[in-house]
Amino acid sequence: MRWGRLGWGLGGAVLAGAAYLAWWPVPIEPVAWSAPTAPGYQGVHAPNQRLAGLRMIDLKGEIGPEHIALGRDGKLYTTVASGNILRMNPDGSGQEVFANTGGRVLGFDFDAAGHLVAADAVKGLLSIAPDGKVRLLTNQVGGDPIRYADGVVVAKSGRMYLSDASTRFAPKDWGGTFEASVLDILEQASTGRVLEYDPATRATRVVARGISFANGVALSQDEKSLFVNETGKYRVWKIAVDANDLDIGQLPAGAQAQARVLLDNLPGYPDNLMRGLDGRIWLGFAKPRGAAIDNMAGKPWLRRLTLRLPRVLWPI
């Protein structure tokens, strides 16, 4: 009798576990897509020692530096997970907290007046004066909230172009920037977009949408095009700045003049773009690609099941 009860108990536990894995609600509605075969780290991506001589700057307990840039004052700025924006000499000395927005600034740039223009994943697009005073520029477009601002570049005209990574998963609602990014990339609904904010008119418009986790922007030298990371699909787009609400996921005939894939099938997740010397554009990879994620591209049900597993088992 005792073993019979134990058997029923084990059977019930197995059934309950199976039911949980099959039907427990998850926040994503996965979309099937075709992931290209990962090229691996070969050719121009082959391992090398070019950065072996880097000197590390100690941030004194701060973690998560997401972007770096030199201000017009000659100081080096970076943003960290605590919400602080740090300012220091280029060699890392003289570190101080320049500002804290109360959110999480990811990308930033400087305007002609020396204000730090910040893409805050919680607050939206902000302007921070040299004295550290924070002002909101925009947090919506056409009445729709900017949920995940993560990159911005300021044109000579003063117009600002920012990436809004996801219109589905806002970091403030889903446990932070990393958690929201995992949900968006697993879902593959491609709701990311590029926005333009014009400080002269205070108008915000959609330049392009249909991007799988838009994650970093940079301007071409003639400022007629934007380079945009599509992190969730391992590629970089070139998009005309005068495009208007262009859906790059469903490009109509002839629209390639306004948007085209510049770099495709990269070996990692592209994260952040910025201009360096001599017109060079620098691109970072947040993580290497994993076969587990690529193999689930055409299996939405499996990605849904994945989120029912303990987080330590997520294929990240």
- Supply the DSSP string of 102-167, one letter for each residue: SS-EEEEEE-TTSPEEEEETTTEEEEE-TT--EEEEESEETTEE---EEEEEE-TTS-EEEEE--S
What's the DSSP call for residue 36? Answer: P
Identify the H or E element spanning 179: helix 177-187
Residue 255: the pLDDT is 72
**pTM, full prediction:** 0.92
Residue 31: the pLDDT is 96
185 near 212, Cβ under 8 Å? yes
Residue 20: the pLDDT is 47
Residue 41: the pLDDT is 92
Grouped pLDDT means (10 residues each) for the chain, 316 residues: 60 54 80 95 93 93 94 96 96 97 97 97 97 97 97 98 98 95 96 98 98 97 97 97 94 81 96 89 92 94 91 77
